Amino acid sequence: MTVVQIPPPPLPVRDKSATRALSPMLTRLAEERATGVLVREHGTLYLAEGRVVHAESPFAPGLDVLLTAHGTLAATAWQRAADRTAGPLHAAELLLASGLLPAGALELCHLDALYDAGYFALAPSSAPGRFRYDSGPRLGPLPSVPVVALERETLRRRLLLHRLWPDPAADSAPLIRADPAAGPAAAPVAPRQRAVLDRVDGVRTATQIARNLGRQAFHTLVDVRRLVAAGHVAPRPAAPVPPPPPPVTDPDIALLKRLRDALEAL
């Protein structure tokens, strides 16, 4: 028997001729090598001399989650470092200096977390971002990323998701198992996708599954879009809006009058 499968689309390569910037403000901050904190709707970027040194987003698990979820670092060890420092980046630097973790592992995890949170921080937003000049962020021992590089990687990631499955609904909605009859019969599920599929329960969203697995959120979006494309998973349809109460067109005037009379007679 021959199994014919449609090959997945290739990973996109950045179009270097494209000058499309995600935000003019970001381009300006990079040009002036700004130092400070850029707060956007879905996340925050910490810039030092025009380079991103740290990023946070409520949608992406932080370095702490990535490091402690699989026992790379004991949660108490992270907590001790976090208690002694001003923020997660400084806690990571303290861990690096203390030698508790290998430099390569920490650098790798730091970059993973930075690109992951950066992807969500640069997501289209309904409100403009605010930049606060602040001498707090500084170039430290952990790797930093030029603003332009983060911007281009974010665009490339959007394109990758779009090519896997063009509907972004599954990125943010609670996920449900798709009706097997509706999808292609028994499309294979890769081991990493299996772990995601096992956590699809009609309540969790893709980014909540990522946190539960201690995985990068963008990686989970990739797995979810592949699972949606293969017919295993679907975004839960929005709950139907309850019908409005029927308009009262015929108040019982006689009853109301009797009620008023009775009240007045008390």
Partner 1 sequence: MPGIDECLLEAMRLPGARGAALVDWTSGLALGTVGEAPGGDHETTAAEAAELARMAAEHGAFAAQADDGQPPVEDLIVSNHDSYHLLRFVDTSFDSSVFLHLWLGREEGNLALARIRLGEMAARLVLG
- In 10-134, the DSSP E strands lie at 36-40, 43-48, 51-56, 130-133
- Check binding of 11 to partner 1 (CB under 8 A): yes
- Check binding of 230 to partner 1 (CB under 8 A): no
DSSP string, 202-240: SS--HHHHHHHHT--HHHHHHHHHHHHHTTSEEEPPPPP
Q: Which residues have a Cβ under 8 Å from the Cβ of 105 and sit 6 or more positions away?
A: 72
Least Cβ distance, residue 195 to partner 1 (angstroms)? 9
- Check binding of 148 to partner 1 (CB under 8 A): no
- Check binding of 41 to partner 1 (CB under 8 A): no
Q: Which of 90, 153, 173, 174 binds partner 1 (CB under 8 A)?
A: 153
Q: Which of 80, 90, 156, 236 binds partner 1 (CB under 8 A)?
A: 156
**Candidates 127-135, 151-159, 234-242, 250-258; binding stretch for partner 1 (CB under 8 A):** 151-159
| 128/141 with CB nearer partner 1 | 141
CA geometry: angle 134, 138, 143, nearest 5 deg = 140
**Candidates 130-138, 165-173, 209-217, 244-252; binding stretch for partner 1 (CB under 8 A):** 209-217
What residues between 176 and 195 interact with partner 1 by CB under 8 A? 188, 190-192
Q: Which residues have a Cβ under 8 Å from the Cβ of 87 and sit 6 or more positions away?
A: 54
Residues 87-126, one symbol each (x = binds partner 1 by CB under 8 A, - = not), give ------------x-xxxxx-xxx-xx--x-----------
Tell me the longest C-alpha to C-alpha distance in the chain. Answer: 90
Q: 55 with 114: CB under 8 angstroms?
A: yes
DSSP string, 50-74: TEEEEEE-TTS--HHHHHHTTTSS-
Rounded Cα gap, residues 116 and 110, in angstroms = 10
Q: Which of 157, 211, 225, 232 binds partner 1 (CB under 8 A)?
A: 157
Binding region for partner 1 (CB under 8 A)? 10-14, 66-67, 69-72, 99, 101-105, 107-109, 111-112, 115, 143, 153, 156-157, 160, 188, 190-192, 213-216, 218-219, 222
